[in-house]
């Protein structure tokens, strides 16, 4: 394996253009190779020292999160916790303190795992991905990035340099919850994220829900616009749960059966919407929701 | 526990361990050392049609490649001689070793393993315990009848060991009952999962081999090497560096002979270090899956009239130390109860799964889970409080137990009182919380054991013991016993241990037996030195040896203040004459008698020497939407006799409870249709984390049990693992209105039980 | 590809020539000879290999040695202050939080990182801070007590 450390973005882009695999923390690469899932690539370029990629900047249309921002930073960063709370919820649940410390948002997004925790929050928050290559850069909606487990629509030579999140409207809230068999060191068996905007009367003005680990990629729940104008009540939550369960196409594996996943995804969607609504209404629910509301085993 | 202000016991090996200077087996490197790798079957039942290592041997850097053709053709096993070092003709589980390689690097060794050509014809899989016992089931061992085996074992085809315990007239007892309750419980297998994966290093000098290995039982490991490589015990030296946990998983004889054989052929030292996956898949030491049918008759007054039970235990492909499991399981399914009429039959069933072996209290957590869940079903049928039912039916001092043993002073009733008190049993709780209670028992194992002690001329001592430390602190506690016998300070003693060529025999860190048996040996050895010191002091102080007391580092004349001499001075005198050397073993207590019962396949497990008792009361919370259970609080009361080292004892309770929580909720082996493990990794086989651990309150019931070990101590390390899963089950059944009949009681199984009554 | 790099471990620079694909834990344990860092799982699931890189906890089993160039690596061997045990080490001994000891180095590294960011953590914060370090012996009770004791004594 050929290994280089890029000190600048240009160096990184040149290496990626030449076929090198970019790594930030590198955990997935090393673990994958050791477990025999994937050979180490012929060439690797470490991008973790490119300082500008570690920035979080406010922009005219929202927030730009550099690809190297770690989960540990996201779970504590005030702007994320206050305005993009679902992303903080998800970041706080990833692996363990050390994996949150090493793992980056860009790495997580580009791995395109259907079980990635930050994916559903990014989807409901309307994230764009900024891809850059030696020939230029482009922004695509994150929904268009993931094409299959471990696959993205990024072209060879393109490096994810940032995630863009649009400005949050007033009376909005978001949350991410997942099923956990133990309170730490978990991977999402199923998870759900919701973003909700309430109107002045407390009815639903906007809603988005996305689901983790129930399809080949992170998926948005379709048809949530039918909830617009609905008051927040038990029937809304029941409808949310039913819609999410209905659209989930999970597999059966060692972590859970298809039937249990379909059931639990409804529960998670309902709980995510509930927490998002409460946050939209001004209630302070600590990050992550799982731990502050005692969801699943996480009390 | 709150932080104590009193001085605490500090382990002698503690400073090594907190500084990183302590050496574990995988930390050792020898000049010229090679790396070993194994080729595993990877298929659960098949005939080997081709095995060709030519290409592997040709790879530069490969120094040895071995198969069954390269070692003596020896079948071994402590109960049934059904296994070889390397597969010959047939493989019977996925982790069976087909070949071994030693090479200059681990990568080359792996390359060589990958270059071995092996072809198989698949044979029918045996996985279901009930059908495996049928007359037409495929055989896991076609030649079972010709195998050598322990005389006591009753064997038949796939039934590797059958035991029964019978007493009275069960049918009459059931006929006379007001209620007859029948239950089936099914437990999956699980793993010991010590955090240190095992490692072995072997080096030859002439015709002698030294093997450093992460075993809990160095003398067993030595015996295995001697048997399979055809060597006398005095040419095999087993040394255990620090051992990174065992929990039974590192009992038995594992891979020491493979590595020694490779080192002999390669003429270089060889090191084997397991990956986590190997740790899950290969050793013959996983906790056994079980199917348990229990029928109990009770009268309206709550008394038990009879119990009938049938147990099938998953032996896996080979019989490790599991030959005694059926009788032990039969005792646990009987339970520590007053049962006048009993008939329990238990089978140890060959399958194409990984072999089972002693993991912390083998058979007990699963059997206790079944019988104690069943007990709450009985109480519910009677409309009786389940704790009250236990008070009424549990054994007690002077009472006859299910197998016809009448107990001396025991503390099971006190355990029930104290454990329920610790968590406030009976108080009102939120609707999603409940407290479950279960009782359990466990024998102390009385076996031979030896130790030497010497005191050098400067008054410092060494305890040279065959005992093995696996983390419990039992060996560390031996210093305390020697010091008390000799009126010295524990800090005056260093421990020389875990070396079969230095010390006399001990069974090892197994069966909770270290303090019980090796403590006896150390006390005896120290007693010899005490006699020597008293004789020297008597001469020095012109007194009678009978009047000399050893205390505070001095030999005093009783009743004559000021007349004393220091032990250091006496040691100096001895160094110029008869040296201060003690040796001890002592006679282990014999098994208490059984009256009125009969046992088929009797391996001595129906009589419990110095039995230990426990009661666990556990408060849980249930997420009714998902079936996820969280343990909030545990009360654990234990009668393990006198507690000599409270810090160490609490550690055993807390760790055992936590392991029990894992077994109850998240730890279970999942097999695919191909009989291979599907969750052989720590992400999918979920140990409890620091974020999951509940408050654990402990009470020790300390009473004088007959036949106890030194100072009245009984065993301890396994007992805390017995009743936790059962108590969780009973709490859960209260919330669900019915028990979850499969172990582990995973969230999905809880949800299934809630939603449709299955499983 | 073998690369020649220098790793700074516990304040000392070590020149090493290693394959670029090597993980940090194996370089620490073999080339550099510091065996206090343990390997329990090789996929970030047990925490026995925890070290600090620039003061933050990292599973060294899943981190390329080459990526640690120009960073400060701290292992268990670098925790003692001269010949004196670090308060966490002493507290683990005093509380009885050490049993088999195999998780202990990793546990100490995680706890060190936690206390350096948060000098007086709540019990829940300690639980989460140590949640990447599996222990099979203790049930975590005495380890939690030790970390809190070390925090109290430092505070």
| Angstroms from B150 CA to nearest CA on chain C | 34
Identify whether the C-beta of residue B544 lies closer than 8 Å to the C-beta of residue B538.
yes
- Whether the predicted pLDDT of B433 surpasses 60: yes
Model confidence over A219-273: pLDDT tens digits?
999 999 999 999 999 999 999 999 999 999 999 999 999 999 999 999 999 999 9
What is the distance between the alpha carbons of residues B311 and B308, in angstroms, rounded to a whole number? 10
Is any Cβ of chain B less than 8 angstroms from the Cβ of C83?
no
What is the reported pLDDT for A36? Answer: 66
B691 and A179: CB-CB below 8 Å?
A: no
Q: Tell me whether residues A2 and C131 touch, CB distance under 8 A.
A: no
Which pLDDT score, from 0 to 100, does residue A40 have?
A: 83
Tell which phi-psi region holds residue B152, choosing left (phi > 0), alpha (psi between -120 and 50) or beta: alpha
pLDDT for residue C117 is more than 90? yes
Please report the pLDDT score of residue B9 as a whole number.
80
What is the rounded average pLDDT of the residues C65-88? 96
Interchain contact A183–C (C-beta under 8 A): yes
Q: What is the largest CA-CA distance in chain B?
A: 85
State how far residue A296 is from chain B, nearest Cα, in angstroms.
Answer: 5
Pick the residue from chain A with its C-alpha nearest to B671. Answer: A254
Mutation target for A interface from C6, C21, C133: give the one with most A CBs within 10 A: C21
How buried is B365 (Cβ within 10 angstroms: 0-12 exposed, 13-18 middle, 19+ buried)?
Answer: buried
Measured between beta carbons, the chain B residues lying within 8 angstroms of A267 are 625-626
How confident is residue B705, by pLDDT bands cut at 50, 70 and 90?
A: confident
Average pLDDT over residues B309-324: 98
C100 near B434, Cβ under 8 Å?
Answer: no
Nearest alpha carbon to residue B452 among B463, B436, B439 = B463
Q: For residue range B616-636, what is the model confidence (pLDDT) as tens digits?
A: 999 999 999 999 999 999 999
Which residue of C111, C136, C148, C153 to mutate against B (max B Cβ within 10 Å)?
C136
**CB contact, 8 Å: A99 with chain C?**
yes
CB-closest option in C1, C45, C67 to A185: C45
Whether the Cβ atoms of residue B285 and residue B106 lie closer than 8 Å to each other: no
Question: With an 8 Å Cβ cutoff, is C107 touching chain A?
Answer: no
User: Which of B20, B631, B632, B695 is best to mutate for the C interface (most C CBs within 10 A)?
Assistant: B20
% of chain A exceeding 90 in pLDDT: 91
What is the nearest CA distance from A191 to chain B, expressed in angstroms?
12
B4 pLDDT tier (thresholds 50, 70, 90): very low
The answer to whether residue A126 scores a pLDDT higher than 60 is yes
Chains in contact with A, counting 3 or more C-beta pairs less than 8 Å apart as contact = B, C
**What count of other Cβ atoms lies within 10 Å of the Cβ of residue B494?**
13
3-state SS assignment for residue B49: strand
Q: CA torsion, points B66, B68, B71, B76, in degrees to nearest 10?
A: 130
Instruction: State whether residue C102 sits within 8 Å of chain B by CB.
Output: yes
Cβ neighbors of B35 (< 8 A, separation 6 or more) are B102, B103, B104, B105, B106, B108, B109, B270, B271, B272, B273
Are B195 and C100 inside 8 Å of each other by CB? yes
Tell me, what's the pLDDT at C99? 98
First to last CA, chain B: 38
Residue B351 · residue B335 · CB < 8 Å:
no
**Based on the number of CB atoms within 10 Å of its own CB, is B695 exposed (0-12), middle (13-18) or buried (19 or more)?**
middle
Band (B1; pLDDT cuts 50, 70, 90)? very low
Section B422-445 average pLDDT: 97
Residue from the list A179, A180, A255 with its beta carbon closest to the beta carbon of B684: A255
Check if the beta carbon of residue B482 is closer than 8 Å to that of residue B522. Answer: yes
Whether B388 has a pLDDT exceeding 50, the answer reads yes
Are the Cβ atoms of C66 and A5 closer than 8 angstroms? yes
Contact C132 A27 (CB under 8 A): no
Predicted confidence at residue A37, as pLDDT, reads 67
Nearest to B747 among A181, A184, A299 (CB): A181
What is the 3-state secondary structure of chain C?
Answer: CEEEEEEEECCEEEEEEEECCCEHHHHHHHHCCCCCCCCCCCCCCCCCCEEEECCEEEEHHHCEHHHHCCCEEECHHHCCECCECCHHHHHHHHHCCCCCCCCHHHHHHHHHHHHHHCCCCCHHHHHHHCCCCCCCCCCCHHHHHHHHHHHHHHC
Band (pLDDT 50/70/90 cuts) for residue B497 is very high
B724-736 and B747-756 helices cross at what angle (nearest 10)?
Answer: 30
B424's enclosing H/E stretch is: none
pLDDT on residue B6: 45
pLDDT reported for residue B759: 52
pLDDT at residue A124, rounded to an integer: 98
**Mean per-residue pLDDT, B401-413:** 96
Is the pLDDT confidence value at B403 over 60?
Answer: yes
Mean of pLDDT values over A40-57: 95
Residue C1: pLDDT band by 50, 70, 90 thresholds?
confident
pLDDT for B2:
38
What are the tens digits of pLDDT across the range C12-27? Answer: 999 999 999 999 999 9
> In this structure, how many other beta carbons lie within 10 angstroms of the beta carbon of residue B490?
18
Rounded to an integer, the average pLDDT of A64-89 is: 98
- Enumerate residues 608 to 627 of chain B having a beta carbon within 8 A of any beta carbon in chain A: 621, 623, 625-626
Are C131 and B690 within 8 A, CB to CB? yes
pLDDT of residue B704: 85
Does C79 touch chain B if contact means CB atoms closer than 8 Å?
yes
Q: How many Å lie between the alpha carbon of C132 and the closest alpha carbon of chain A?
A: 5
Among chain B residues, CA nearest to C88 = B18
* Chain B contact set for A297 (CB, 8 A): 623, 628-630, 692, 747
Q: How far is CA A299 from CA A209, A272, B620, in A?
A: 24, 16, 12
Chain B residues within an 8 Å CB radius of A244: none
Per-residue pLDDT band at A30 (split at 50, 70, 90): confident
The rounded distance, in Å, linking the Cα atoms of A142 and B202 is: 55
Q: Are strands B90-91 and B46-52 parallel, antiparallel or unpaired?
A: antiparallel
DSSP B645-712: -HHHHHHHHHHHHHHHHHHHHT----B-TTS-BS--STTTS----TTT--EEEEEE-----TT--GGG
Identify from A115, A182, A266, A291 which residue to disrupt to test chain B contact, counting B C-beta atoms within 10 A and taking the largest count: A182
Shortest CA distance from C45: residue in chain A: A185
Q: Residue C23 in contact with residue C62, Cβ under 8 Å? A: yes
- Which residues are CB-contacts of B288 (< 8 A; sequence separation ≥ 6)? B189, B313, B314, B315, B316, B322, B325, B356, B362, B363, B366
Cβ-defined contact of A184 to C132 (cutoff 8 Å): yes
Q: Within an 8 Å CB–CB cutoff, is residue C17 touching chain A? A: no
* pLDDT value of position A31: 79
Among A289-293, B205-209, B507-511, B676-680, which is the least confidently predicted range?
A: A289-293
Q: Write out residues 40-69 of C within 8 Å (CB-CB) of A.
A: 42-45, 47, 50, 56-59, 61-64, 66-67, 69
Rounded to the nearest 5°, which phi and psi values hold at B187? Answer: -110, 135
| Span B134-158, pLDDT tens digits | 999 999 999 999 999 999 999 999 9
Cα(A178)–Cα(A93) distance, rounded to whole angstroms?
Answer: 9
State chain B's mean pLDDT as an integer: 96
Q: Which stretches of A144-293 are assigned E, i.e. beta strand?
A: 146-148, 151-152, 159-166, 172-178, 191-198, 204-212, 219-220
Per-residue pLDDT, A298 = 43
| B757 has pLDDT over 70 | no
Query: What would the pLDDT profile of B645-663 be if each residue is shown by its tens digit?
Result: 999 999 999 999 999 999 9
Q: Give the tens place of pLDDT for each residue, B537-547.
A: 999 999 999 99
Integer Cα distance of A236 and A269 in angstroms: 11
Is the ipTM value over 0.85, yes or no? yes
Give residue-wise pLDDT tens across range A199-221.
999 999 999 999 999 999 999 99
CA-nearest of A279, A224, A276 to A247 is: A224
Chosen for mutation from C93, C141, C144, C147 (greatest number of chain B CBs closer than 10 Å) is C141
Number of CB atoms found within 10 A of residue B297's CB:
25
What residues in A contact B692, CB-CB < 8 Å? 182-184, 297
Share of chain B above pLDDT 90, in %: 97
From chain A residues 151-210, the ones with a CB under 8 A of any chain B CB are 179-185, 187
**Cα C86 to Cα C121: distance, rounded to the nearest angstrom:** 18
Residues B341-370 pLDDT 10s: 999 999 999 999 999 999 999 999 999 999
C102 to chain B: closest CA residue: B244
Task: Give the pLDDT confidence of B224-281 residue by residue, as tens digits.
Answer: 999 999 999 999 999 999 999 999 999 999 999 999 999 999 999 999 999 999 999 9
In this complex, the chains that touch C, judged by 3 or more CB pairs closer than 8 A, are: A, B
Q: What confidence category does residue C42 fall into, taking pLDDT thresholds of 50, 70 and 90?
A: confident
Q: Is residue B93 within a helix (H) or strand (E), and if so which, with residue range?
A: none
Strand, helix or coil for residue B241: coil
Q: How far, in Å, CA of A53 to CA of C106, rounded?
A: 30
Q: What is the mean pLDDT of residues A127-153?
A: 97
**What is the H or E stretch that residue B484 is in?**
helix B474-486
User: Is B669 an interface residue toward A (CB < 8 Å)?
Assistant: no
β-pair partners for B548? B557
């Amino acid at each position: 394996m050929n290994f280089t450390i890029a000190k600048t973005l240009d160096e990184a882009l040149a290496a990626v253009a030449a076929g090198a695999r970019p790594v930030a923390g590198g955990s997935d690469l090393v673990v994958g190779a050791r477990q025999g899932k994937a050979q180490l690539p012929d060439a690797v370029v470490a991008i973790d020292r490119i300082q500008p990629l570690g920035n979080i900047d406010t922009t005219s249309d929202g927030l730009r999160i550099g690809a190297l921002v770690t989960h540990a930073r996201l779970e504590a960063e005030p702007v994320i916790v206050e305005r993009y709370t679902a992303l903080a919820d998800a970041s706080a649940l990833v692996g363990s303190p050390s994996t949150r410390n090493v793992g980056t948002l860009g790495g997580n997004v580009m791995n395109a795992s259907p079980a990635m925790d930050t994916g559903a929050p990014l989807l409901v928050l309307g994230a764009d991905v900024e891809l850059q290559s030696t020939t230029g850069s482009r922004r695509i909606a994150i929904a268009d990035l993931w094409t299959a487990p471990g696959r993205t629509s990024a072209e060879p030579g393109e490096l994810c340099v940032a995630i863009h999140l649009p400005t949050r409207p007033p009376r909005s809230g978001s949350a991410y919850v997942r099923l956990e068999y133990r309170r730490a060191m978990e991977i999402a068996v199923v998870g759900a994220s919701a973003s909700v905007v309430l109107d002045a009367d407390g009815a639903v003005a906007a809603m988005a829900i996305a689901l983790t680990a129930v399809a080949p990629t992170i998926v948005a729940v379709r048809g949530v616009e039918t909830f617009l104008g609905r008051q927040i009540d038990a029937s809304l939550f029941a409808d949310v749960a039913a819609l999410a369960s209905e659209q989930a196409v999970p597999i059966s594996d060692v972590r859970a059966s298809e039937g249990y996943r379909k059931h639990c995804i409804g529960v998670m969607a309902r709980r995510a919407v509930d927490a998002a609504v409460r946050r939209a209404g001004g209630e302070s629910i600590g990050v992550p929701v799982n731990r502050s509301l005692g969801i699943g085993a996480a009390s | 526990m709150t932080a104590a202000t009193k001085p605490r016991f500090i382990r002698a090996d503690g400073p090594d361990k907190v500084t990183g200077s302590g050496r574990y087996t995988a930390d050792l490197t020898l000049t010229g050392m090679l790396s070993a790798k194994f080729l595993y079957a990877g298929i659960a039942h098949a005939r080997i049609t081709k095995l060709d290592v030519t290409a592997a041997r040709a790879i530069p850097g490969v120094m040895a490649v071995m198969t069954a053709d390269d070692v003596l053709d020896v079948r071994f096993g402590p109960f049934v001689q059904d296994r070889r070092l390397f597969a010959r003709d047939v493989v019977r589980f996925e982790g069976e070793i087909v070949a071994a390689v030693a090479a200059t690097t681990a990568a080359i060794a792996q390359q060589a393993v990958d270059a071995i050509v092996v072809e198989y014809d698949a044979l029918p899989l045996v996985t279901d315990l009930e059908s495996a016992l049928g007359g037409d089931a495929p055989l896991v061992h076609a030649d079972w009848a010709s195998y050598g085996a322990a005389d006591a074992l009753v064997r038949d085809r796939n039934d590797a060991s059958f035991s029964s315990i019978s007493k009275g007239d069960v049918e009459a007892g059931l006929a006379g009952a007001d209620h007859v309750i029948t239950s089936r419980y099914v437990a999956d297998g699980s793993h010991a999962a010590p955090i240190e994966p095992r490692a072995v290093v072997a080096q030859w000098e002439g015709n002698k081999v030294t093997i450093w290995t992460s075993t809990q039982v160095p003398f067993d490991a030595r015996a295995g090497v001697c048997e399979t490589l055809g060597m006398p015990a005095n040419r095999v030296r087993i040394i255990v560096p620090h051992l990174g946990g065992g929990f039974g998983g590192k009992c038995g004889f594992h891979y020491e002979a493979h590595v020694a054989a490779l080192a002999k052929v390669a003429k270089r030292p060889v090191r084997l270090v397991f990956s986590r996956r190997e740790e899950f898949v290969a050793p013959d030491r996983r906790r056994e899956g079980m199917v348990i049918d229990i029928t109990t008759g009770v009268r309206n007054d709550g008394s038990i009239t009879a119990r009938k039970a049938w147990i099938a235990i998953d032996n896996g492909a080979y019989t490790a130390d599991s030959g005694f499991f059926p009788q032990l399981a039969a005792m646990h399914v009987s339970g520590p109860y007053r049962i006048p009429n009993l008939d329990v039959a238990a089978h140890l069933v060959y399958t194409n799964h990984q072999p089972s072996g002693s993991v912390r209290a083998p058979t007990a957590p699963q059997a206790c889970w079944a019988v104690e869940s069943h007990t709450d079903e009985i109480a519910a049928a009677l409309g009786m409080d389940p704790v009250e039912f236990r008070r009424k039916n549990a054994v007690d001092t002077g009472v006859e137990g299910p197998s016809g043993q009448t107990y001396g002073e025991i503390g099971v009733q006190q355990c029930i009182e104290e454990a329920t008190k610790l968590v406030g049993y009976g108080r009102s709780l939120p609707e999603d919380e409940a407290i479950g209670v279960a009782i359990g028992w466990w024998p102390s194992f009385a076996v031979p054991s030896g130790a030497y002690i010497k005191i050098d001329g400067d008054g410092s001592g060494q305890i040279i013991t065959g005992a093995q430390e696996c983390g419990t602190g039992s060996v560390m506690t031996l210093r305390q016993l020697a010091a008390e016998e000799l009126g010295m300070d524990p800090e005056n003693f260093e421990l020389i241990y875990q070396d079969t060529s230095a010390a006399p025999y001990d069974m090892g860190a197994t069966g909770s037996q270290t303090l019980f048996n090796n403590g006896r040996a150390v006390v005896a050895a120290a007693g010899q030195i005490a006699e020597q010191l008293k004789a020297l002091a008597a001469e020095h102080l012109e007194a009678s040896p009978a009047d000399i007391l050893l205390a505070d580092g001095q030999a005093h004349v009783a009743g004559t203040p000021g007349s004393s001499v220091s032990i250091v001075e006496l040691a100096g005198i001895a160094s110029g004459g008869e040296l201060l050397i003690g040796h001890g073993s002592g006679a282990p207590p014999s098994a208490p008698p059984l009256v009125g019962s009969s046992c088929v396949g009797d391996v001595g497990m129906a009589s419990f020497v110095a039995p230990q008792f426990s009661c666990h009361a556990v408060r849980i919370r249930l997420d009714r939407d998902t079936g996820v259970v969280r343990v909030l609080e545990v009360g654990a009361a234990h009668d393990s006799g006198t507690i000599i080292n409270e810090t160490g004892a609490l550690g055993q309770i807390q760790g055992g409870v936590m392991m029990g929580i894992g077994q109850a909720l998240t730890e279970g082996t999942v097999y695919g249709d191909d009989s291979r493990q599907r969750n052989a990794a720590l992400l999918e086989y979920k140990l409890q984390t620091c974020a999951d651990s509940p408050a654990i309150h402990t009470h020790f019931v300390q009473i004088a049990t007959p036949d106890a070990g030194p100072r009245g101590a009984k065993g301890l390390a396994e007992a805390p693992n017995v009743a936790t899963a059962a108590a969780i089950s009973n709490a859960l059944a209260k919330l669900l209105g019915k028990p979850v009949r499969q172990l582990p009681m995973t969230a999905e199984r809880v949800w299934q039980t809630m939603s449709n009554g299955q499983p | 590809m073998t690369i020649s790099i220098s790793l700074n471990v516990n304040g000392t620079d070590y020149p090493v020539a290693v394959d670029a694909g090597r993980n940090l834990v194996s370089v620490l344990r073999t080339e550099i000879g510091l065996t206090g860092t343990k390997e329990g799982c090789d996929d970030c699931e047990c925490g026995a290999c925890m070290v600090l890189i620039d003061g933050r906890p990292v599973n060294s089993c899943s981190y390329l040695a080459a990526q640690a160039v120009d960073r400060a690596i701290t292992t268990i061997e670098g925790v003692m202050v001269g010949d004196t045990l670090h308060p966490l080490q002493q507290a683990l001994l005093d509380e009885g939080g050490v049993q088999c000891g195999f998780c202990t180095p990793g546990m100490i590294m995680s706890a060190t990182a936690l206390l350096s960011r948060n000098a007086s953590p709540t019990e829940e914060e300690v639980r989460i801070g140590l949640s990447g370090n599996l222990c099979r012996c203790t049930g975590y009770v005495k380890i939690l007590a030790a970390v809190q004791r070390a925090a109290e004594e430092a505070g």
